Amino acid sequence: MSIGGESLSHTTDVKPQGTPRISGYEAAARKAEVHRNILLTIPALLVLVLAASGPLLVMLLYSFLAPGDYGGVVWQPSVDGWFRVFLTRDIFDDTLMLQDAHVTIFWRSIKLSSMTTVLCILLGFPTAYFIATRSDQTRNLWLFLITIPFWTNLLIRTFAIMEIIRNEGIVNNLLIFVGVIDVPVQMLYTDFAIMVGMTYVYLPLMILPLYASMEKLDFGLVEAGYDLYATRFRVLRRVILPLVKPGLVAGSILVFIPSLGAYVTPRVLGGGKNMMLGNLIELQFGQGQNWPLGAALSIALLAIVMVALIVYVRTAQRSTQAHG
């Protein structure tokens, strides 16, 4: 689970200031203060280097080593891991070929994550708008109801979806009861199930930032639109959408990134054969026994995530400049 959106802004808001002329005594006091502040952060940074940032560097190194026979690595440089991300050598005539299975999984990850993001926008936009137009007293309650699923266990929520879309589940029983279908439709263990599951678990990540920007929406502007004989659709498209764009972009990034790296949801709802990137990575450290390939795939996933984050930061900066 990640709530990166809000925190990202912290990283850019501090710029070193030009220091005015100060006395020697004060300079020493300031220096001591900076030392104290740095000392205070060191224990946390140490743990983070040990169990968060450092391992990523070790993994980068591992992606350039040769695979060991039973997992692990052999300490000799090799680009075999990176080579195998998209390519494979034919076992008979040694020609280079595209690794179809990997291309399929990359494509499925990007496709399902994009569709999940779109679904989250379609469901999240009206919901965020609904919350933002409640009275001050009830608004916090509606918001709280979105936050509860956000903080509850992702595995349990995925399990809950699995239960209702299985062949004997509520959805199939209901459809048979109504008479739409005669035999249960196989929904579990399909791409559709993964998409529904990811939409379900990541929806709050879309609603919360969208709400944050809708809360500040000036309805005077909306009214001005209607006064100038705009239709509802035109007001939505030309007035509301441009004003809430920062929230829309933040929400999309917050949904897209964890979807792309999803592991639990495709494992539980995709049932082994409908793999996403996260499951392909796990496979290399489990049955696949190819750690360098797994490391290279992880770095590739991380690179895609970083590109998405940079796009987000750029867009956020541009919109703050545009609106003052």
Partner 1 sequence: MADTTSDSFGFSVRRLPGFTALAIACYAMLYAPIMALVAYSFNAGSSIAVWEGFSLHWYGAAWQNEKVQEATILSLLVATVSSISATILASMAALGTTRIRPYKGLTAIYAMINQPLMVPEIVTAVALLIVFAIIKSTTGYQGLIYLISAHTAFCIPFAYLPIRARLESMDLSLEVAAADLYATPLRTFKLITLPLLWPGIIAGMMLAFVISLDDVVITEFVKAPGQDTLPTYMLGQLRRVITPEIHAISTALLSISIIMVSIFFLLNRKKS
Strand residues in the chain grouped as ranges (E): 65-67, 73-77, 87-89, 96-98
Q: How many C-beta neighbours within 10 Å does residue 226 have?
A: 13
Q: Which parts of 24-53 interact with partner 1 (CB under 8 A)?
A: 30, 33-34, 36-41, 43-45, 47-53
Angle value at C-alpha 117, between 115 and 118, nearest 5 degrees: 65
> Taking CB under 8 A as the rule, does residue 21 contact partner 1?
no
Report helix angle 191-215 to 100-132, nearest 10: 40
Choosing from 104, 133, 231, 320, the residue that interacts with partner 1 (CB under 8 A) is 133
> Taking CB under 8 A as the rule, does residue 110 contact partner 1?
no
> Taking CB under 8 A as the rule, does residue 216 contact partner 1?
no
> Taking CB under 8 A as the rule, does residue 298 contact partner 1?
yes
φ, ψ (nearest 5 deg) of residue 253? -65, -45
> Taking CB under 8 A as the rule, does residue 283 contact partner 1?
no
Binding mask 163-202 for partner 1 (x = CB under 8 A): xx-x-xxx--x--------------------------x--
Q: How many C-beta neighbours within 10 Å does residue 147 have?
A: 13
Query: What's the closest the beta carbon of residue 324 comes to partner 1, in angstroms?
Result: 22
Nearer to partner 1, 107 or 226 (CB): 226
Closest CA to 269 of 174, 178, 181, 155: 155
Nearer to partner 1, 204 or 247 (CB): 204
Question: Is 303 in contact with 84 (CB distance < 8 Å)?
Answer: no
Question: Is 262 in contact with 198 (CB distance < 8 Å)?
Answer: yes
Binding segment toward partner 1, per CB under 8 A, in 80-88, 94-102, 175-183, 261-269: 261-269
Nearer to partner 1, 72 or 86 (CB): 72
Nearer to partner 1, 49 or 87 (CB): 49
Nearer to partner 1, 51 or 183 (CB): 51
